[in-house]
Structure 1
Amino acid sequence: MSYGEFPSWRLPRLYLPGCAQHVIQRGNNRAACFYEKADYKAYLSFLKDAAEKYRVAIHAFVLMTNHVHLLVTPSDEKGISRMMQAQGRKYVQYFNFTHGRTGTLWEGRYKSTLVDAENYLLTVYRYIELNPVRAGMVVHASEYPWSSYQGNALGKPVQLLTPHPIYSRLGSTEVERESAYRALFRGRMPERDLAAIREATNKAWVLGDERFKGQIEAKTGRRAAPLGRGGDRKSAAFREVKNQ
């Protein structure tokens, strides 16, 4: 387990080999990081190379105009950070050269959270691939070309993707899995799920049930969720949470 590098006022990232993570990478000052079709293709190509090099399995993704969501599982504690650094560098070089610009492109610190696979993994799949729908860019996830829905739900070849074991349990054949997966997208996501995913990812908490959070706390020695309202409001821990 590794915490990774982090400013003293922020919670450290958690890296547990074999544990899924939801990762968000944003454009600097929310500026666009994709201008045209070739940009999306270049990003996915660089991401694939970096994921293979650092042995990170990518289960779901969506490339929005000014940010990216990934659902990944690392093989070791440094895989995700190395992957993000490698593809980030290459894409910035490509983007600046192609569009005649200079300077940074990405927000300095990508955000991530550990995901309780048994209880939340498919919810995060759905959250990621429904981003274009929530943004009003398309009516249905199938209409957006730059997400893993094309592979997970429609069976289109996406070399970047590695099915998570939870996804594989959806059916005994590819057709059965894709049909069961599409069924998950009927109706809207509950607001409580949206809120839970956003809070956990943006604040570096753990996304899972109490048992899972307890397991993560035992392994890492770091709190997996904010203190309840009954906590000591004068403690350093409370001040840390308040300032998130």
Structure 2
Amino acid sequence: MPRMGRVVLPNYPHHIVQRGHNRQVVFMQEEDFRRYLADLKELKEVFGVRVYAYCLMTNHVHLLLEPGESMTGLGQLMKTLAARMTRYRNRLEGRSGTLWESRYKSSVVQTDAYLLACCRYIELNPVRARMVERPDHYPWSSYRARIGAEDGGGWLDCDPCYLGLADTEKERRVSYMGFVTQAIPETELKLIREALQRGQLTGNAKFIEEVERVAGRRVELRGQGRPLKGK
């Protein structure tokens, strides 16, 4: 399958996955997770990138990020995050070499139809992996901060779809918790997974046309099945 050039667009959310080299373990202890999140909190401000959701698994990370006007901020953030974690782990283990796969995967996300769906997909990763029974039992995702179950989540950005769930933060949290507990349609799971794996867009046909106009080129691999219609 041909590799597409990565599509990065300002002011659009991007679903990103970065895996450990050869799927090796990246996070071994609590301090590893805490350090990565502290770096993410710092670097989002440095590079002007919004963080809508995250989940740190043992050998990979899921992020939902939105760059600002800069076309380079997202790539710079990911590069710096990876480099810091690599130096940290190499010092701990007294070794040299790479920690991450050389190329992270990314997919531009249609805001109105799929942004909340991608948040849910990311935050349910530990549940699908059978690491925990409920997303609020996992401490290394954005879910607990989003629903107000822990302090220190004030740096997480609120996406426009989340803000549109209700008029007050309390009502938004209740609505979002209900959304996450719903069964995810298999078509939605398939779309998100395949879009990320292939570097395609997470959205419907209209969204694909919109992004192609903005990017000035074709960005979708055709013939891979009809995109899911917007909700």
TM-score by length of 2: 0.92
Q: Say whether residues 1:171 and 2:166 are aligned partners.
A: yes
Whether the aligned pair in 1 keeps the contact of 2:201 and 2:220 (CA below 8 Å) is yes
In structure 2, the CA distance between the partners of 1:165 and 1:229, relative to structure 1 (3 Å rule), is closer
Q: Paired residue for 2:147?
A: 153
Q: Paired residue for 1:3?
A: none
- Shift of residue 88, structure 1, vs aligned partner: 1.1
Instruction: Tell me the distance in 1 between the aligned counterparts of 2:223 and 2:24.
Output: 36
Residue-by-residue CA offset, 1:72-119 (whole Å, 9 max, x unaligned): 110121111000011111111111112333210000000101000000
Q: Paired residue for 1:57?
A: 50
Q: Percent identity?
A: 41
Q: Paired residue for 2:15?
A: 22
Residue-by-residue CA offset, 1:101-145 (whole Å, 9 max, x unaligned): 321000000010100000000000000000000001000001000
Whether the aligned pair in 2 keeps the contact of 1:155 and 1:178 (CA below 8 Å) is no
Question: Aligned to 1:185, what secondary structure does the other structure show?
Answer: helix
Question: Aligned to 2:90, what secondary structure does the other structure show?
Answer: helix
Unaligned runs of 5+ in 1: 1-8, 231-244
> RMSD of the TM alignment (CA)?
1.5
Q: Paired residue for 1:39?
A: 32
Larger-Rg structure: 1
Q: Say whether residues 1:120 and 2:114 are aligned partners.
A: yes
Whether the aligned pair in 1 keeps the contact of 2:4 and 2:219 (CA below 8 Å) is no
Q: Residue 208 of structure 1: which of 203, 215, 226 is its match? A: 203
In structure 2, the CA distance between the partners of 1:229 and 1:153, relative to structure 1 (3 Å rule), is closer
Instruction: Tell me the distance in 2 between the aligned counterparts of 1:161 and 1:187.
Output: 23
Q: Say whether residues 1:143 and 2:148 are aligned partners.
A: no
Q: Paired residue for 1:79?
A: 73
Q: How many residues align?
A: 222
- Shift of residue 192, structure 1, vs aligned partner: 1.1
In structure 2, the CA distance between the partners of 1:28 and 1:160, relative to structure 1 (3 Å rule), is farther
Q: Residue 220 of structure 2: which of 219, 222, 225 is its match? A: 225
Instruction: Tell me the distance in 2 between the aligned counterparts of 1:190 and 1:96.
Output: 41
TM-score by length of 1: 0.87
Question: Aligned to 2:54, what secondary structure does the other structure show?
Answer: strand
One-letter amino acid of the counterpart of residue 59, structure 1: Y
Instruction: Tell me the distance in 1 between the aligned counterparts of 2:14 and 2:194.
Output: 14
